[in-house]
Each structure stands twice: as structure tokens, then as C-alpha cells.
Structure 1
Amino acid sequence: MKTIKIIGLTFLFQIICSNVTYSQFGISTDLLKLGASTLGIEKLFKKPAAITTSFEDVKKEGSKMPNFFKLGDVQPLYLLPKAHDGGFILCAGYFEMTNKSYCLHAGTFAPSSGDGYMYAQTNGSKKEIVSAILKSAEKHPEINQHDIQVLLWAIIAKTKFINFNTEIKLTAVKLLTKKQLSQLEDGALGFLPDEIINEAKSKLPESIQTIFEAENNIRGLITSGSYSYQEIEKYAIIAGIAQPRTDYPSGIWTLHPDGYFIRYIPSGYSVTKVQIYVPKELIVGLNGKPLIYDATNDIACPANTGSQRLAQTNEPLNPDYSIVLKTICVGAN
């Protein structure tokens, strides 16, 4: 009897977490709810978050207000010498780059002009996967930024790889290794019916109910195979503006763990201006050891938890390579 019960619960769980229509099996929503309750709905939905980085992960010590530094001769960050494993070798001075960025927090507001963003490392069960996608994308300029964003939303929403449509699968195959692709199934869910979602939401803190529902809606669209970018974006990005925090204003500088200062000024979620100040004494103290800025493990984290956290990249937008660096850097052309 115990074996039959386990098999029955396993069957219900597989149906709930698959992309097949449960009505095909003659199973009612009430039965699905019963199965979820029997399994323990808290455990059913307690899947590890793909990315967990929050403002609590930001180290505020050493941060500076926006006008603390008088920006002198700001030079293009993308003209600095490239590091062997990716990123740029920093020199003393001020540098900036407007680069591609990506939303990593479905069900939140887009950045507004008053939002303060600070540096934090990428954390979560899929941090290596996300960083690998951003790093690999540098070698595949033919892949549209929207296609990469949809792939990231699919991962953030815990979508099963088997449920990706052909276009998303092709993007994933280009950017990830076979081993990394197999890891996409870990902690994934299928689309869940409204009745189960509503029951689960009632057991979740109000602050994450919207995110939970947004992720499920994204899974549903991706699983359906028929959607537009705008439809997914509608669930990923909440309409409106989150109330900015005055204690961490736009343009605030974070003291990076490596000793330089960095700040982020987003324009929406897909474009971010990154500015870096590298003190001369920091470079001198390294005694020739390279100081590398590699954005693919960086998140611009909003002080307002209702706003988007933004993955950063080493990919400049509209670079002008006719400019010549005024600063002499080791390894520069």
C-alpha cells in the first residue's frame, strides 16, 4: 500500500512539473491540489533560487556619495588591454563604458533615474551558468541581446530545459557546454495551474508573491512555445516606478573588494553606464600584478529591493575605437 501511495504521488508531481496538459489525463485541478498538499506544498515550491543576490550582499563600507570624486579626464574602459581570461586590465585613472546589461529579477520594477545601484557578486544556484552565458556571449556577437535575455529569464524562472522552445535551446547550445546544459534541469519546475499558485502564494511572504507568480507566468509562456518578447517582458518588468531610497542615491560609488571604486547608472534594464575610479596608489601597491575588471560575475544591485538587479557585461555599446588612450597602460596597444 505504501509503495502504491509513493508511485501515485510521484505521478502527480511529474504531471504538475511537466509541460503536458493535465486534463489530458482526466485529472482535475482539485486532485492536483490534493497531490500538492499531500507532498507538502512548502517543499514542492521550495526550489533553490537561480540568483539570490540582494542588497544585503552589498558591502557598503567605503562607499562614497555621487559627488565625492571630481571626475577628471574620463577615458573609455573598453580601450584598456584585454585580460587573457576575459575583462579588462585596469590602470590608474577614471574610466567608463556603456555596456549591455540584463535583468535578473522577474516581477520587479525597471530602474528609474533616482535608483541607487551598488556592486555585488553574483550568488545563487545558477551563478556559474549565468556568468558562463555572459562571458560566452562576448564571442557570439551574432546572438541578439533579446535572445540572451529570454534565456536568462527562462533560467531565472526555473524553466526546465526540455520545455525551452527551439529558439531558446539554440541560444543555450551556442553559449553553454553540454555539462552546463545538463545543469539547467536542477531545481527546475513546469508551469503550475492557478489554483496551486494561489495556494502557494498564501504561504509566501507578500514581498515575494509577485515574483513567484511572474516566474510561473514566464514558465507558462516559454512552455507554450508561442510568445513575443514583449509578452515575457510584461511579466518580468512591472509597470511603474519603485520609490527610490534617498540614503543610497543614483550614482553612489561602491568600494570594490579589489580596491577600486565603481558605480552604475542604468538606462532601463538593458543598458548600463559603468564608471570606475582606480587610485594610483592601488596600482603602485600591486607591484606589477594585473588588476582586472571582469563584469560577467558582477551585479548592479538596487538599494530598492523592488527594482531590477542587473547583470553586467564586458560588451560595450557603440564603441569608438578611433579614440586613443591618454594613459599609458601595461599591455596596451
Structure 2
Amino acid sequence: MIKRLTTILLVLTISSSSASAQDLDGLFNKVKKGAKSLSKSLSWEPGKAVSTSLKDTLAGFYWMNDQLKARTPDTLSTFLLKPGYYKTTLRSYCLHAGTYGPSRGSGYQLANFEGTQKKLIISILEKSTDHPNISQSDVQTLIWGIEAGNKFSSYPTDFQARVKPLLSLKDIALMEINVKDIVESNLPSEVQRLMNTYQSLRQEMQSAQMSFDKLEDIAVKVGAPPIGVGSITIDEGKWSYLNSGYFIKVDPQSYSTSDVTLYRPSYADVSYDSQNRISSYTNDGYKLTVNYKDNGTPVQLGDYTANVQQIESYTVEGPGQPTQTVPAEGGKYIDFGMDFVNDALQGAKDFNLDQMLKDNTNLSLEQLQNAYNDIKKWKGRYDDLKNIHDDFNMDQNPPQDLNKYIKDSYVNETIQKAMEVSLNPIDKKGQSEWLKNHFKMVSDFFFYSICKLRGDDCRPDNDPKNPKLPDYIAQPGNTNAQRLGLSEYKK
């Protein structure tokens, strides 16, 4: 088989220089030596090139839409992004030939890219951005061919010439795969259908008059997809957390076009007072100081000691405006302490609020209920954060002091609510952007705490970073719908 590959590729590169030929010989000397280890890559099985499924999805959540509804996303010109909130429309690609395409309103969730041809397809998606002259239909045809087990040498020669910049010599060698002889009568019906789809794609790809429209008719089913086996419900607008420190959601317009929203929180220096309360946030020349009314009033709630904290005002200062202090209306919150918060979040026990208020005149039942309901609401977010944490292997770098960040996130959100009241309306003439920057800083720290909860390194800088979108797949909840590959090519 290796000799045959060498012969085919030498024919393909007959017009190359002698140096290129020597490179090709060197490549196949390496292939011969590593033939045993490469045997898996040099063979083909239906559905194995890309095998991502629902089990590979990252933890997802919807509540982030509410947290960001007051902010307007920026457009982006590059994917080397500083912290911020961005939205763009990208080229996306079908990675599940023979299934139904998405439509507006389809729910998708990010998943890890899995499959025997993972590295090859990711590389093609990355390089396609650097070669805008190569059409999206040609890139899609190449990907479908990899899924279907089509040999590179079987494509029409003009197509080979157009897509060659997306491939290395080794990539081309690995595309000269051996389609296994599979007795279709022994296959489950869904695999037989997949085999038929791949066979039809190969036949069309090997035609001298290869037509993308015909390929699309074979690979993309139209209409409302029936619910597939093992499907789950994924509603539109579901967010995921990427390992690169970004939050992301994908909303497809079609299989070839997807809206992508990205959010990366800014790092802010946060200071604490002697009672371990958040006392100030500082970022990029802006500072917000939380002014508490007193040292807090300790109250006994059953087995727990809590503190009633009252925020009196906020002092905001930064470039371009004089320092000002804004009263905090309704800035009261109950700091239950981590024992209570952990028991409430983990459902370790039931709480009788009436009994907890017995002989306690510092709080009303309504105040306690509101505070307890806030913690219960936060429980859903805590569960999401735990799932985010569990998405990654923490054994080598276990996160430290997660309780601190659980508490920080809870208290920070309480401060955020008080700021919404005290800085509303924030569109005062000449101050709008200045006040928005302070509010944004508090909001960013809430999500930065989530990053710490996940156990990420959360580097204390705001340097540009790439989210590496091609490393992930947008996975639908319906197993009869198409999963999508993401490029960084803006439409």
C-alpha cells in the first residue's frame, strides 16, 4: 500500500522541482518506518473521520444572556482578542454528511473535536482563513471527501490544484486512504445509510464534471429533521466555556453561515477589607470603591452566624472625569458565611427560615427569604460552574480555594445589582461611557471569578489571546442534525 501511495503522489507532483521530489521521498521513508503506527490513519471506517457526539459537549448554560443583556457586543477584525464582548458572522462547515442542515433558531452547544481525521480537518479550517481565494464550496468539498474516504488523487485535477495550498505532503499522503471492504448486509441500517451517502459522494467527487450543487444535495438534507435516537433538547442561545478563557455561543443561520458571540472578561485587581469584604475594583485607570455603612451586624440564624452588610455608596474615579460618590439605594445583603452557602448549594440540609428567625429582631422574614432565594438561584449557576470545572482534567493542576471564588461571585453579583440602581440612568451627558466602564469592571470580575472556579490559570493580564475556534465543533441536540466546524473566516 505504501508503494502504491508513493507512485500516486509522485504522479501528482510530477511538475514539482527535484527538491520537492526529494522532500516527498523523505516523507515516504518516514511513512515506511512508521507504517505500523500510521496504519489506523491510512484506513477508513464510516463515521470515524469526525466522531464528535453529544457526549463530547462542553458544559452549557443560558443565564449568561441575562448577565450581558445591558452590554452591546463589538464587531471584531481579528481573532487575537483582548478582553471584551464580540459578535461576528463566520463561515461554518458541515461535518456530518447525510443529515439535516440547521435553520435560524436551531440550538447548538460547543463540543470537543473528536475523530481519526481531527488534526487534518482542523488544519484545513485554519489554513482556509489564510487563503481567501479558495472558495467555501471547495473547502467544504474537501472536508466531505475526508469524511467519505475519497482519495485526493481521485478528485478532478483542477480541484486538486485549487485546494493544494490547504494541505501538506503528509496530509495528501494520509488522504490516500484505504476504504475498507465492508459487508453492508451485516451493518445496522443507520450505518448502511451512511455508507450509501459516502459512496454517492465519492462517485460524484470522482467525476470530471464534479458539481458542488450535486454534492450538497447528497450531503445536506432539507426540511424539518425527525428527532434522532439519543437526542436531547438544546435551545437557541446556549453558552459554553472554552479552555482558552472565552465564553462562546453559536447560532447558525445555515450550515455554511453561523453567528458567533464571544466574551472574555477583563482582569481587575480586587481589594478586600479587614472583614474580607470586597472593597474596591481597579482596572485600566478606573477604580470603584465600595463604601460600607458599618462593620456589619452579626446575626444568629439557627446553627449559622451571618452578617448583615449595608452598602452606603460607591466612589467612582478614573480618567477624564472628576471623582464622584454615588449613593447605593437598597445595597443591603446578608453574608451567610461559607458553611451556610455550601450547605445550601449542595442541598446538604433543609432550612426552616421561620425557625432561623426565632429571637432575631435584626431581619424580617421577607429580607431573609429574598437573600435565601438569591442563593437558591445561584445554585443553578454553581452547578453549571461545577460542570465547567469537571469538563477539564484538573488532576495535574487542581484549583485552589474555590470556596473563596464562590463567595466572591455571589457577593459581587449583589454589588452589581446595587450598582444598577445607583448608576441608573447611566447615560448622563458626558458621563455615559465613564460610568459604563465602572459597571463593566464589576461585571467582568463576576465572570473572572467563574474562570477561577473552573480552575483555569486566569492569567492576571489582558493581553490578546486567540480562542482557537477550529478546535471545537458546534453540536446540535438532535442527532439527525448536522454538527458544524468553525473557521475564523468572517463573512
Calculate the TM-score normalised by the size of structure 1. Answer: 0.70
Given residue 298 of structure 1, which amino acid in structure 2 is its aligned partner? Y
- Paired residues for 1:1-333 under 5 Å: 46=45, 49-60=48-59, 62-64=60-62, 67-71=65-69, 72-76=71-75, 78-80=76-78, 88-188=79-179, 200=184, 202-243=185-226, 247-279=233-265, 280-281=444-445, 282=448, 285-288=458-461, 290-317=464-491
Cα deviation, residue 175, structure 1:
1.0
Q: Deviations over 1:231-274 (max 9, x none)?
A: 11111011322257773111211222334321111111110000
Q: Deviations over 1:93-126 (max 9, x none)?
A: 3211101111111100000234211111222111
Identity rate, percent:
30
- Give the whole-Å Cα distance in 1 for the aligned partners of 2:63 and 2:54: 17
Q: How many residues align?
A: 257
Cα deviation, residue 300, structure 1:
1.0
Secondary structure class of the residue paired with 2:216: helix
Q: 1:68 to 1:167 in 2, by over 3 A?
A: farther
Given residue 102 of structure 2, which amino acid in structure 1 is its aligned partner? P
Q: 1:63 to 1:181 in 2, by over 3 A?
A: same
Secondary structure class of the residue paired with 1:151: helix
Structure 1: segments with no counterpart, 5+ residues = 1-43, 81-87, 318-333
- Give the whole-Å Cα distance in 2 for the aligned partners of 1:69 and 1:188: 50
Secondary structure class of the residue paired with 1:247: coil
Structure label with greater radius of gyration? 2
Cα deviation, residue 66, structure 1:
7.4
Q: 1:247 to 1:222 in 2, by over 3 A?
A: closer
Q: 1:50 to 1:167 in 2, by over 3 A?
A: farther
Higher strand proportion, which one? 2
- Give the whole-Å Cα distance in 2 for the aligned partners of 1:138 and 1:45: 27
- Give the whole-Å Cα distance in 2 for the aligned partners of 1:305 and 1:74: 31
Q: 1:230 to 1:259 in 2, by over 3 A?
A: same
- Give the whole-Å Cα distance in 2 for the aligned partners of 1:275 and 1:231: 32
- Give the whole-Å Cα distance in 1 for the aligned partners of 2:114 and 2:134: 25
Q: Is the contact made by 2:93 and 2:140 (CA closer than 8 Å) also made in structure 1?
A: yes
Q: How much is the aligned-residue C-alpha RMSD, in angstroms?
A: 2.6
Cα deviation, residue 298, structure 1:
2.0
Given residue 213 of structure 1, which amino acid in structure 2 is its aligned partner? N
What's 2:363 paired with? none
Q: 1:227 to 1:65 in 2, by over 3 A?
A: farther
Q: 1:157 to 1:46 in 2, by over 3 A?
A: closer
Q: Is the contact made by 1:63 and 1:255 (CA closer than 8 Å) also made in structure 2?
A: no
Cα deviation, residue 161, structure 1:
1.7
Q: Is the contact made by 2:90 and 2:257 (CA closer than 8 Å) also made in structure 1?
A: yes
Secondary structure class of the residue paired with 2:236: coil
- Give the whole-Å Cα distance in 2 for the aligned partners of 1:246 and 1:124: 22
Secondary structure class of the residue paired with 2:116: coil
Structure 2: segments with no counterpart, 5+ residues = 1-42, 266-443, 453-457
Q: 1:271 to 1:46 in 2, by over 3 A?
A: closer
Given residue 260 of structure 1, which amino acid in structure 2 is its aligned partner? Y
- Give the whole-Å Cα distance in 2 for the aligned partners of 1:161 and 1:45: 14
- Give the whole-Å Cα distance in 1 for the aligned partners of 2:236 and 2:226: 12
Given residue 262 of structure 2, which amino acid in structure 1 is its aligned partner? I
Q: Deviations over 1:208-232 (max 9, x none)?
A: 3322211110011112332311111
What's 1:9 paired with? none
- Give the whole-Å Cα distance in 2 for the aligned partners of 1:89 and 1:53: 26
Q: Is the contact made by 1:115 and 1:303 (CA closer than 8 Å) also made in structure 2?
A: no
- Give the whole-Å Cα distance in 2 for the aligned partners of 1:103 and 1:48: 13
- Give the whole-Å Cα distance in 2 for the aligned partners of 1:125 and 1:143: 25
Secondary structure class of the residue paired with 2:104: coil
- Give the whole-Å Cα distance in 2 for the aligned partners of 1:116 and 1:137: 26
Cα deviation, residue 205, structure 1:
2.8
Given residue 286 of structure 1, which amino acid in structure 2 is its aligned partner? R
